Amino acid sequence: MKYLAFTLLISLFALSCGNSSESDSDSTKNSTTEKVDSVVEKNVSKIENKFILDELLKINSEKELKNQFGAENVTRREEWFAEGTVSFMQSVIYAETPKEVVFQWEDDSVKFDKLSNISVYMKNAPWKAANGLFVGMRMTELETANGKPFTFFGFGWDYAGGCNFEGGKLFNTIYGITLGEVAENEYENPAYTKLLGDAEFKSDSKEARAYNPAVVELRLRKE
C-alpha cells in the first residue's frame, strides 16, 4: 500500500510538472504572439494623420504601401523625365481618383523601396502638406506662405511652372511646387498666354498677378 501510494504521488507530481511546463509554454507562446501582433499593429497604424502628405514619407517600400492602403489600391506606372530621356517606374495609390498619390523609389525595378519623393497633382485632391500647401492654391497664397515674392518658369515647355523660392520660407525645404493653369484649356486666355515660354517671371509682376496661376503639382522629398 505504501508503495502504491508513493507511486501515485510521483505520478501526480509528474503530471503537475507537465501541466506547469505546458502552461509556461502557452504563456511564452501567447507573449510572443502579443509582441508580434504589437509590431504588426505599429506597422499598420504608422499613418496617423489622414490626408497629411508628410505622413506618407514614413513609407519605406511598396510592400508597406500595400499594407497601409490595400494591395488593390496600389498600381505601377512608368513616367518619363528630363525631356523624355529618363524613365522611372512609380507606385501609385488610388490611381485616377482625387486621392491619387505617386511614390518614386530609389530602387524602381526590383524591390521598389527606399522612397525618394512623393507627388500629388489631381484637382480637388484632399491631401495637404503639414505647412498647409495644397494643389489648387493660388500663386498669391503661395507667395504669402513663402513670406516674399518668388520666381517661376513660364508655361508650355518641359520645366513649365517650376518655382524658385530663394530667400523665402519655402527655400531649401522638402517641398517642390509647380504652377500652371487655373482651369483647363486656357490657351486662348490672354492673361495665360503672356506667361508662356522659356522665361522666368516674378510672382509680384503685373503679368503674373493678372493671371494668378494655381499650384498644379506638389512634391515632397524624402530626406
Both 28 and 77 in a single domain? no
Residue 189 within any structural domain of the chain: yes
Both 212 and 159 in a single domain? yes
Res 10 pLDDT > 70: no
Condensed to tens digits (0 to 9), the pLDDT of residues 68-112 reads 999 999 999 998 765 666 788 999 999 999 999 999 999 888 899
With cut-offs at 50, 70 and 90, classify the pLDDT of residue 204.
very high
Condensed to tens digits (0 to 9), the pLDDT of residues 155-196 reads 999 899 999 999 999 999 999 999 999 998 898 999 999 999
Residue where a domain terminates, one of 88, 120, 152: 120
Q: 12 or 218, which is more confident?
A: 218
Both 32 and 68 in a single domain? no
Both 99 and 83 in a single domain? yes
Query: Which residues, 6 or more positions from 82, have their beta carbon under 8 angstroms from its beta carbon?
Result: none
CA 89 vs CA 25, 30, 106, 126: distances in Å: 47, 42, 10, 24
Q: 79 or 205, which is more confident?
A: 205
The pLDDT assigned to 47 comes to 67
Half-sphere exposure of 71 (CA within 13 A, CB side): 1
Both 29 and 62 in a single domain? no
Residue 217 within any structural domain of the chain: yes
Both 72 and 102 in a single domain? yes
Residue 37 within any structural domain of the chain: yes
Average pLDDT in the chain:
84
Both 116 and 96 in a single domain? yes
Both 106 and 151 in a single domain? no
E runs forming strands in 43-165: 74-81, 86-93, 101-107, 113-120, 151-153, 163-164
Q: 171 or 46, which is more confident?
A: 171
The pLDDT assigned to 185 comes to 87
Residue 71 within any structural domain of the chain: yes
The pLDDT assigned to 81 comes to 66
Residue 134 within any structural domain of the chain: no
Q: Which domain holds residue 143?
A: 139-221
Residue 126 within any structural domain of the chain: no
Res 4 pLDDT > 60: no
> Residue 121: how many CB atoms within 10 A of its CB?
16
The pLDDT assigned to 92 comes to 97
Res 38 pLDDT > 90: no
Both 23 and 90 in a single domain? no
Percent of the chain at pLDDT exceeding 90: 68
Strand arrangement, sheet containing 163-164: 163-164, 151-153, 200-202
Both 102 and 165 in a single domain? no
Residue 125 within any structural domain of the chain: no
Residue 25 within any structural domain of the chain: yes
The pLDDT assigned to 14 comes to 44
Both 215 and 148 in a single domain? yes
Name the domain count of the chain. 3
Both 87 and 113 in a single domain? yes
Best CA proximity match to 129, nearest among 219, 67, 216, 208:
219
- 103-125 mean pLDDT: 94
